[in-house]
Structure 1
């Protein structure tokens, strides 16, 4: 089974944000993924919703044997395990969250389904914080 190179963005704006990001990375590793690179932490204002809680964000490159949908399912499981209640795909809007993990790129493929779009267009082209984090990763 081959390894796939995946670029992720992680963010948190509730609780101990840096610890939340570190915990999410550990859970990704525990699920059999290899973390090969992590960016510096970057703080940013919420995007596309109002909140007084600032985000802490990082980018990571992982190697995985999972398919895009399998990885998405694992990520959603991690978010739920960590206490994320509202998923923006379900609520059709953004809210404060303990953890958010986005698949930005996956082996350079294009993949579009109801639940997942790769590459993640908003993170690549529209969001300033993600462009800063991803500049050395893509």
Structure 2
């Protein structure tokens, strides 16, 4: 089985945000080996209004999962941690205990109803993402 290099971006804006990220990073060990993490970064919500700021972190993992398999595993982690709303299904962003996005997967360009790689909004539009990803991409 070959290993794929994947960059993920994690965010939380409910409860103990940093601890939520640490728990999610620990759970991600079930889908691959973590290579390195960025520093934690606090940011304001993007594309929705909330008084809860986010704590964010980027990580690089190596995984044998395909992009869709990895997405499914990530969604399981989000649900295990108590995430209720999925922005793709609900049609908008809300506060969330955890959000894990696949930013890049090797050099793959992939688009489906469920997943777009690379994640263009994080790579090009969101300032907090650019800060976190500057040493990863």
Q: Does the alignment reach a TM-score above 0.5? A: yes
Q: 1: CA distance between counterparts of 2:64 and 2:6?
A: 10
Please state if 1:96 is matched with 2:78: no
The number of equivalent residue pairs is 137
Please state if 1:26 is matched with 2:26: yes
Note the residue ranges of structure 2 that are not aligned, 5 or more in a row: none
Report if aligned partners of 2:31, 2:70 keep a CA contact under 8 Å in 1: no
Please state if 1:128 is matched with 2:127: yes
Q: 1: CA distance between counterparts of 2:47 and 2:111?
A: 22
Q: 2: CA distance between counterparts of 1:92 and 1:64?
A: 29
Report if aligned partners of 2:11, 2:56 keep a CA contact under 8 Å in 1: yes
Give TM-score, length-normalised by structure 2.
Answer: 0.99
> Over aligned residues, Cα RMSD in angstroms?
0.5
Q: 2: CA distance between counterparts of 1:132 and 1:108?
A: 20
Q: 2: CA distance between counterparts of 1:105 and 1:4?
A: 10
Residues 27-66 of structure 1 aligned to structure 2 (within 5 Å):
27-29=27-29, 31-66=30-65
Q: What per-residue deviation string (whole Å, max 9, x for no partner) do you get for residues 30-81 of structure 1?
A: x141000100000000000000000000000000000000000000000000
Deviation at 1:16?
0.4
Report if aligned partners of 2:31, 2:65 keep a CA contact under 8 Å in 1: no
Q: 1: CA distance between counterparts of 2:31 and 2:9?
A: 18
Deviation at 1:137?
0.3
Q: 2: CA distance between counterparts of 1:83 and 1:121?
A: 26
Q: 2: CA distance between counterparts of 1:111 and 1:34?
A: 22
Q: 1: CA distance between counterparts of 2:65 and 2:22?
A: 21
Matched residue, 1:106: 105
Matched residue, 1:80: 79
Give TM-score, length-normalised by structure 1.
Answer: 0.98
